[in-house]
């Protein structure tokens, strides 16, 4: 017994010395900034409405805005410029919009006068079944896992847009992004905030996803990422250069621009990049196969639309949440919002309830229309909106998410009855605030944002695009590629419209927007922000349509956010009856809303969880372009 005690004492002494050594080494390791860069950061800064006579760009990054303007100055059109901006966002906002990310898009072709949508969202791998996830012990799709990775959509969308509407090559539109990725760029406010990890989180990040930590932290777990640090993405630059070289080989052999672009796409989905993605999934037990990548394709579509006064509001189909915006506006169209007063208690309550009614319908009906028969004609029928308007309860919060409406009587050919897999009511989790905190405490959050870009050129063409994906799952080693976590927007409930099915698209939150006024192009707009996106978009549109605000004033005005519905991201937390207000608005109306029955939470002014709207308006009277960019992000609007 004595020998055992002596052994344990010696072991404890050795372990203590080792622990002390580790602590001393950690104390001595450098923790300050790496290589600081000076730069202009528009985050939280006031700025005037941007103006331009020829063309304009408004994006989530000053670099992306400048890249788009340079392309148009060189003679490129809006579609070329938008792809240059997209690639630059993949660099400077890499933690929020990776290159293989989702890319839901709306485009306006000035020659035809038509708005089209492109489904730039990947599908679930063929092996991704609810049964497989359940067998692994998952109740929701996990983040820090290859099982969260959707098939890449953005490269396909980029090539499709350039082939159909662009004039430049991939080599030309990617040149500036490659240059910045190689040379490095300064870590801005949002990137620093998104990757503001504690020591324990950095250690966990490095252990769980070592290549991710190499890219973002230089594998220095002991040192946080600092504002202004130079971040270099050499692997991503090399990946793009290899794609550009492939294109140049085709062009050198006499191939057309379209054939060169096809070679770029093939290099990604069927060539060396596909091989690296598949090899990593095979090695680490993922689901993506060569067949998945080779057979993937996005597609062009007719956009959805709704009417609010003189304005036609466009959105992508129900594989995203975009229909919430026109649905909400049509519910509000019969109410004199101006008489209520901007951001008055009655106004906030009324708009919130319209949003909650639309979001309840989102939960009950909206999903990938190739897999679910969504009664979208009924949902966007003005008579249905009028019926939903009757359920608003003046002066009294709903308390819980309201019941979904019944759009089927307004759906042509349905006879007033459901016909398909969309349900009449959402399955609400019973979790409250206590369960919410318990659930989110187990999740490492890395890059919790999205990005946005819009471009209008000298010919009147416009692009609206909301790229997004986060490094919360393992990156593909040696490539600089983040396949993201968009599978987390599926449900593992087979009865839910957004249930996981092989080949299906999740109902994603990113949703670009466009607006016509009196039948003519008026505005291109959008925002990051998850479930806040549609809410921020509605509020900005009302600021413009009802209160006739200056564009920058409309974007910067205080916002509110309901969370009275299940979160679109796993684990789909639900906070009944809760509304969040920016501090300035909370001070004005917080107590009144509490008296109505809301659980009210105050947040900082210009907090980026309230969105980051960018927009470009073509003035109907002068033809001038007016742009605005949200101070809640490092976004910037500029014209020529």
Task: Note the pLDDT of residue 437.
Answer: 29
d(CA 639, CA 624): 10
In the block, tokens 């684990």 appear at 571
Q: Which residues of the chain have pLDDT under 70?
A: 1, 7-9, 11-23, 28, 414-448
Q: Residue 389: inside a domain, yes or no?
A: yes
Asked if the bond preceding 571 is cis, omega within 30° of 0, the reply is yes
Q: Please tell me the pTM assigned to this model.
A: 0.94
DSSP letters along 322-343, please?
A: TTHHHHHHHHHTTS-HHHH-TT
Give CA–CA dist 40/634, Å, rounded.
9
What would the pLDDT profile of 83-119 be if each residue is shown by its tens digit? 999 999 999 999 999 999 999 999 999 999 999 999 9
In a domain, 622, yes or no: yes
Please tell me the distance from the alpha carbon of residue 206 to that of residue 216, in angstroms, as a whole number.
10
What is the model's pLDDT at position 424?
Answer: 43
Residue 11 has what pLDDT? 67
pLDDT at 29: 74
CB 470 within 8 A of CB 485: yes
What is the distance of C-alpha 265 from the center of its chain?
A: 23
137: Cβ contacts below 8 Å, ≥ 6 apart? none
Tracing tokens 């690639």 back to the chain, one arrives at 87
Tokens of 584: 């300035």
> Would 198 be classed as within a structural domain?
no
How many other CB atoms are there within 10 angstroms of residue 355's CB atom? 26
139 domain-assigned: no
Domain presence at residue 244: no
Structure tokens at 82: 């938008």
Q: Is 494 contained in some domain? A: no
Tokens at residue 160, please?
Answer: 């499709």
Q: Where is 12: in which H helix or E strand?
A: helix 2-28
Q: Is residue 572 part of a domain?
A: yes
CATH of residue 435: 3.60.20.40
Separation between Cα atoms, residue 222 and residue 216, nearest integer Å = 13
Instruction: Tell me, rounded to whole angstroms, the distance of Cα 353 from its chain centroid.
Output: 24
Residue 373 lies in a domain: yes
Q: In sequence order, which ranges of 333-405 are alpha helices (DSSP H)?
A: 337-340, 345-365, 376-379, 382-389
Phi, psi angle pair for 487, to nearest 5°? -60, -20
Number of domains into which the chain is organized:
1
Cβ atoms of 242 and 272 closer than 8 Å: yes
d(CA 504, CA 509): 15
Give the residue among 476, 473, 477, 467 at the shortest CA–CA distance from 488: 473
Q: Kind of pairing, strands 299-301 and 304-308? A: unpaired
Residue 430: the pLDDT is: 45
The 10 Å CB-count burial string (b at 16+, else e) for 170-179 is bbbbbbbbbe
Other CB atoms within 10 Å distance of the CB of residue 439: 17
How far is the C-alpha of 409 from the C-alpha of 531, rounded, in Å? 28
Structure tokens at 249: 């080989």
The dihedral formed by the CA atoms of 627, 193, 489 and 436, expressed in degrees to the nearest 10: -130
- Between CA 85 and CA 78 the distance in angstroms is 10
The parent domain of residue 593 ranges over 304-442+510-639
Query: What integer pLDDT is reported at residue 10 of this predicted model?
Result: 72
Q: What is the 3-state secondary structure (H, E, C) of 181-243?
A: HHHCEECCHHHHHHCCCCHHHHHHHHHHCHHHHHHHHCCCCCCCCCCCEEECCHHHHHHHHHH
Q: What is the pLDDT of residue 433?
A: 32
């Amino acid at each position: 017994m004595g020998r055992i005690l002596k052994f344990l004492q010696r072991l404890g002494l050795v372990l203590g010395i080792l622990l002390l050594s580790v602590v001393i080494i950690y104390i001595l390791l450098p923790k300050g900034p790496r290589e600081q860069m000076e730069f202009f950061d528009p985050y939280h800064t006031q700025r005037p409405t941007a103006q331009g006579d020829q063309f304009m760009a408004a994006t989530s990054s000053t670099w992306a805005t400048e890249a788009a303007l340079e392309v148009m100055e060189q003679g490129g059109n809006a579609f070329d410029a938008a792809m240059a901006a997209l690639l630059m966002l993949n660099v400077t906002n890499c933690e929020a919009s990776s290159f293989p990310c989702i890319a839901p898009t709306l485009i306006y072709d000035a020659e035809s006068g038509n708005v089209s949508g492109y489904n730039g969202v990947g599908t679930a791998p063929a092996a991704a079944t609810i049964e497989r996830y359940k067998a692994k012990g998952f109740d929701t799709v996990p983040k820090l896992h290859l099982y969260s990775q959707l098939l890449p959509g953005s490269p396909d969308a980029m090539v499709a847009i350039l082939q159909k509407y662009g004039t430049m090559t991939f080599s030309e539109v990617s040149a500036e992004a490659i240059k910045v990725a190689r040379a490095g760029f300064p870590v801005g406010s949002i990137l620093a905030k998104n990757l503001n990890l504690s020591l324990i989180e950095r250690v966990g990040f490095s252990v769980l996803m070592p290549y991710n930590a190499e890219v973002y932290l230089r594998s220095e777990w002991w040192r946080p990422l600092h504002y202004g640090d130079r971040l270099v993405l050499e692997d991503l630059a090399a990946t793009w250069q290899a794609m550009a070289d492939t294109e140049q080989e085709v062009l050198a052999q006499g191939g057309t621009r379209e054939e060169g672009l096809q070679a770029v796409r093939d290099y990604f989905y069927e060539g060396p990049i596909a091989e690296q993605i598949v090899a990593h999934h095979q090695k680490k037990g993922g689901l993506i196969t060569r067949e998945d990548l080779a057979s993937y394709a996005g597609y062009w579509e007719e956009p959805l639309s709704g009417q609010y006064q003189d304005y036609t509001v466009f959105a992508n189909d129900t594989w995203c949440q975009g229909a919430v915006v026109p649905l909400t506006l049509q519910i509000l169209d019969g109410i004199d919002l101006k008489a209520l007063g901007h951001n008055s208690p009655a106004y906030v309550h009324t708009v919130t309830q319209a949003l909650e009614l639309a979001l309840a319908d989102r939960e009950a009906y909206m999903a990938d229309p190739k897999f679910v028969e969504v009664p979208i004609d009924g949902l966007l029928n003005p008579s249905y909106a009028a019926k939903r308007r009757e359920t608003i309860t003046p002066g009294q919060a709903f308390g819980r998410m309201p019941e979904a409406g019944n759009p089927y009587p307004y759906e042509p050919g349905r006879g007033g009855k459901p016909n398909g897999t969309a349900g009449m009511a959402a399955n609400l989790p019973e979790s409250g605030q206590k369960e919410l905190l318990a659930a989110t405490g187990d999740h490492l959050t890395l890059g919790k944002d999205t990005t946005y870009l819009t471009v209008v050129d000298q010919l009147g063409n416009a692009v609206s695009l909301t790229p997004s994906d986060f490094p919360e799952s393992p990156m593909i080693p040696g490539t600089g590629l983040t396949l993201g976590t968009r599978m987390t927007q599926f449900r593992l409930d087979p009865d839910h419209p957004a249930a996981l099915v092989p080949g299906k698209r999740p109902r994603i939150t990113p949703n670009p927007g466009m607006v016509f006024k009196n039948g003519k192009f008026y505005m291109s707009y959008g925002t990051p922000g998850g479930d806040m996106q549609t809410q921020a978009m509605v509020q900005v549109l009302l600021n413009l349509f009802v209160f006739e605000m200056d564009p920058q004033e409309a974007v910067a005005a205080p916002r509110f956010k309901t969370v009275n519905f299940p979160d679109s991201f796993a684990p789909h937390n639900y906070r009944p009856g809760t509304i969040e207000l920016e501090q300035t608005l909370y001070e004005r109306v917080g107590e009144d809303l509490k008296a109505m029955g809301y659980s009210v939470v105050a947040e900082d002014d210009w907090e980026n969880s309230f969105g980051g709207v960018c927009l470009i308006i073509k003035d109907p009277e002068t033809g001038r372009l007016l742009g605005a960019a949200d101070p809640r992000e490092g976004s910037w609007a500029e014209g020529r």
